[in-house]
Amino acid sequence: MKRLKSWVDIPKDSDFSIYNIPFGVYSKGSGHYAIATAIGDFVLDLDVLHANQYFYDLDLPKDIFKSRYLNPFISLGKPMTQTIRLRLQELLMEGGVLQHDLKTNREAFIKQGTVDMLLPLDIGNYTDFYSSKEHATNVGTMFRDPSKALLPNWEHMPVGYHGRASSIVASGTPINRPYGQLKDPAKESPDFGVSKRLDFELEMGFVIGRGTELGDVVPIHEAREYIFGMVLFNDWSARDIQVWEYVPLGPFLGKNFASSMSPWVVTMEALEPFRVPAPEQATKVLPYLREQRHDTLDIHLKVAIQPKNSLETEVCQSNYKYLYWTMEQQLAHHTINGCNIKVGDVYASGTISGPTPDSYGSMLELGWKGTKPIPVSDGTTRTFIEDHDRVVMRGHAGDQHQRVGFGTVETLVLPPKKILYDND
């Protein structure tokens, strides 16, 4: 790829290099919002650029960048959104015309950390997959016969379930520990109470950029045209609620109380240089899942736990490339029955675990069902997440010469809200 140099001062380890140009939404206060991109340590307001005629030749709607969500912008279609992304790269490159427009710069560039970044999408539908062979094997080993850790369907299709879109929140939004039914193995009946086994799940999500009608399918060879970009995603799980409820219909209250998402959507065009071969699928898949290019993305992922009044402790290093099922296979399978999709829908990968214990993407695995406590910075240990812990996930592709990152998705866990209930 051609080396690009920006006139903006960008730290070497910044996720938001000139190769990236992600899209997000920030609050301008008093009910006003703007679509922005990130460059180095700055948020760049695209509505200001639009008002100053930097997109004058693109025939854009006047208020396209004043939207609360990215959905109308994404609905312009990939040819237009990619044109805008490339225009922004030109403006930010050394010698670009924006460099000397001091008036526009003063209005458009805002220091990151001084504004509130919002959930960037109006998410109509959310699906969570189960696409890591290592994660599925680990969980199957813990809860079933290790010789039959993977269920018979797992290598034939991307397993998934429909989650709860309304409880997806932006990075920085605290969540409360959930209540639910808890079944002590030594008792015949369940009790009601607070989850004691709250867990993170290290995931990524892809965002739909083009809708379909009910009855239509997305062919595997066209799937990439329907995917706008990707985000970091934390699919929170209450393991003790989940284990009692999931038979026979799968996840419900153990999952739908909260999921956390990063505020910047990184486009597939920015991630394209980081494609690598996907894991070999030894079991032959059905024709509708067969890819001409069976590849994936090399995205480095990390998770840290920060106890109250203490420093972060890194507990996991994983990589998106470990996933057995690709996002194209996930989307083709999701729609093969005619299920319609909408712009802004989010499809999460499932927990991303690698081949080594330090690459496991959940506390369930890292602490191996509570049997292997993990030391953290305040001198205590963790088998699951405790109140007042902050969980921080990071992800990036490339290196300091061509880095494309996602920033962070971080969440503070608060004690449960007080409710009245009768457990007798």
Binding residues for substrate: 130, 144, 242, 246, 351
CB 195 within 8 A of CB 387: no
CA distance 407 to 16: 8
CA distance 366 to 395: 19
**Encoding tokens for residue 197?**
């086994």
CA distance 173 to 260: 8
Q: Where are the alpha helices (DSSP H) in 288-346?
A: 327-335
Secondary structure (3-state) at 323:
coil
CB 392 within 8 A of CB 410: yes
Please state the residue numbers annotated as binding site for Mg(2+).
235, 255, 259
Nearest to 34 by CA among 64, 74, 77: 64
CB 348 within 8 A of CB 325: no
CA distance 164 to 241: 16
Element (DSSP H or E) covering residue 48: helix 46-51
**Encoding tokens for residue 44?**
């760049």
Please state the residue numbers annotated as binding site.
128, 130, 144, 201, 203, 235, 242, 246, 255, 259, 351
> Which residue do the tokens 């009692």 mark?
244
Query: Does 135 qualify as catalytic in the annotation?
Result: yes
Number of CB atoms found within 10 A of residue 89's CB: 19
CB 423 within 8 A of CB 191: yes
Amino acid at position 187, single letter? K
For residues 187, 179, 122, 318, the Cα torsion angle rounded to the nearest 10 degrees is -60
**How wide is the angle at C-alpha 149 spanned by C-alphas 145 and 154, nearest 5°?**
145
Please state the residue numbers annotated as binding site for Ca(2+).
128, 201, 203, 235
Catalytically annotated residue among 50, 135, 333, 396: 135
Catalytic residue positions? 135
